[in-house]
Structure 1
């Protein structure tokens, strides 16, 4: 099979299409013929050699969509032929991938098989971090940093669908228009505006903050949170180390949490995926939230796909196409 690997740690140019043996599904697994794979920042970190605990397999990719073509022991053969999307520990940039059967989900109605490749990582991150502990109250404010990203664009839509008011930061006017169409009430261009100043001037004290920036935003995130608020950190693009004023946590009764998805044990992922199908998939099926595919590129353009994310030129998800019958699509807004 064809697969995209990082030949060595480095820049996007180290990505190359190579040949690998088709994996065989072990007990509890299914074999998926991949149509498309989602591209995530964790892939960029693994390619660069900076992702802690990344899988030893040089094939990148944490989510795919495709068709089940075989099953291992203890997995029903009734899955064969079904279209599905999957959450993976790695190996998604390939024409075939063996995946734990419990980590498969049906493709929601009204979502194309191609676009389904970009659902699992974002949906699992949003649900597990924002809604599994305790859902935000309808009518409260949520601040989403990077609202035009794959995770951010889903977080905005999911919050709006549940009656939560959303403020979000973006890096360009075009991204601002994009997130406004998704339902964000307040859009802050972080290249020209200080998000803390903008929120405090309006008297907006979010109950929840979803942060991908890390060190540079920590103090301001705590500054704007309302009493009893929760800061959820899922990335640290500006760095992982900084100082914190503990008195702000105590006086504001604030909670700071952080979690990754890839390193969670399988039984936790089982529950998360079951929850997605019950709670998020119906919103896709009713059109209350929509996929946000920015571009879908063939395997041979994997380096370009990584550059889109690194340069933050994307709005929504970037996909890689394994199926040659699906042509590349130009950049677009949903």
Structure 2
């Protein structure tokens, strides 16, 4: 098969479409003939040499894919060869084939094309596990977030026009929350409004803390989904409502910040930070099962939709990375395999 390989850490030009060995599904795995993959910011970090795949994962970039089941590993049930599926991956999506643990595979939702389904696994799993999931058991409680957004609460989403952001807006509105977003420029904010965002903040021109206070009569956000990290830490705390919950899922603004514990204590707030890629298989399977139970019906009803900015041939992954780096996109950028079945 062919896959996008990273010849050395560097810019988009190091992404090369080349011949590599075919993957073989091991016990408990599903082999997928890939139709499409989606570009995530983690892929850019991996290309630059800052985010290695977990041990045992495919060395090729790509944290999600869609396609058709090609083969089943020993002990796999519930799937059949030829079935259209999408999957959450630890790597390997930028390829013609990928092998993935069966617990991370999802059916393509009714009403969604096989290619567009590649835009769903990473965004839905990230958003649902960070701001909605609750409960858990003694052995799996760390799968579940403390954010637990509730109806009528206010959610602030940083990067509202991103793949994660566009999904977070739709899911939050579906559960009856009020949604505030930050995004760069009126065009992106307009797209966020189309998806249901109630409070629109241009981070280039406005102070999101002040704008959020105005829009909430001084209360602030009950939950904040943050992709920035250190740069926004202090302002996020100031933007939190009493009993607010801050979920950090990205570090675009740095890894080290000063946390005002007095402010956090006074607000009776909570700060969590999670990543999805390196979680144990059992935790990923629990998240994917929850997404299938709670999110897939919303997609099949048309309440929530994948937001796809553009589709490029997989050999042109470098152009897709440049698009993501420029910020000139709303939603997901997809890569379609040359021979992928639609």
Aligning the two structures, in what range does the TM-score lie when normalised by the shorter sequence? over 0.9
Partner of 2:315: 300
Corresponding position of 2:90: 89
Task: Give runs of ≥4 in structure 1 deviating > 3 Å.
Answer: 52-58, 323-327
Match of 1:289 among 282, 286, 304: 304
Partner of 1:330: none
- 2:139 counterpart residue number: none
Q: Secondary structure at the match of 1:23?
A: coil
Shift of 1:78: 4.9
Q: Does 1:131 align with 2:132?
A: yes
Measure, in 2, the Cα distance between the counterparts of 1:78 and 1:139. Answer: 39
The equivalent of 1:166 in structure 2 is: 179
Matched, 1:184 2:185: no
Structure 2 match to 1:152 = 165
CA contact (8 A) 1:70 1:77 kept: no
| Match runs of 1:245-260 below 5 Å | 245-260=260-275
Give 2:223's match in structure 1, choosing from 208, 212, 217: 208
2-structure distance, mates of 1:57, 1:267? 18
* Cα gap change, 1:75 to 1:57, in 2 (>3 Å): closer
- Structure 1 residues 326, 301: CA separation in 2 closer, same or farther (over 3 Å shift)? farther
Partner of 1:228: helix, strand, or coil? strand
1:326 Cα offset (Å): 7.4
Cα distance in 2 for partners of 1:249, 1:22 equals 51
CA separation of 1:255 and 1:325: change in aligned 2, threshold 3 A: closer
Q: Are the aligned partners of 2:36 and 2:340 in contact in 1 as well (CA < 8 Å)?
A: no
Equivalent residue, structure 2, for 1:116:
117
Q: Which position in structure 2 is the counterpart of 1:332?
A: none
1:324, distance to aligned residue in structure 2 (A): 3.9
Within 2, Cα distance between the matches of 1:78 and 1:290? 24
Could you tell me how far 1:46 is from its partner in structure 2?
0.4
1:198 has 2:199 as partner = no
- TM-score, length-scaled by structure 2: 0.93
The alpha-carbon deviation at position 77 of structure 1 amounts to 8.2
Q: Deviations over 1:82-105 (max 9, x none)?
A: 000011111110000111111110
SS of 2:241 mapped into structure 1: coil
**Structure 2 CA distance for aligned equivalents of residues 91 and 283 of structure 1:** 28
After TM superposition, the score normalised by the length of structure 1 is: 0.95
Structure 1's unaligned 5+ residue stretches are 328-334
Does the Cα contact within 8 Å between 1:36 and 1:323 map onto a contact in 2? Answer: no
Q: Give per-residue Cα distances to partners, 1:293-322, cap 9 Å, x unaligned.
A: 111111221011011111111100011111
The Cα shift of 1:110 comes to: 1.0
Which residue is equivalent to 1:278?
Answer: 293
Q: Deviations over 1:276-306 (max 9, x none)?
A: 1110000000011111011111122101101
RMSD of the TM alignment (CA)?
1.5
Query: How far apart are the structure 2 equivalents of 1:21 and 1:232?
Result: 39
Change (3 A) 1:77 1:294: same
Runs of 5+ unmatched residues, structure 2:
134-144
Aligned to 1:228: 243
Q: What is the aligned partner in structure 1 of residue 47 from structure 2?
A: 47
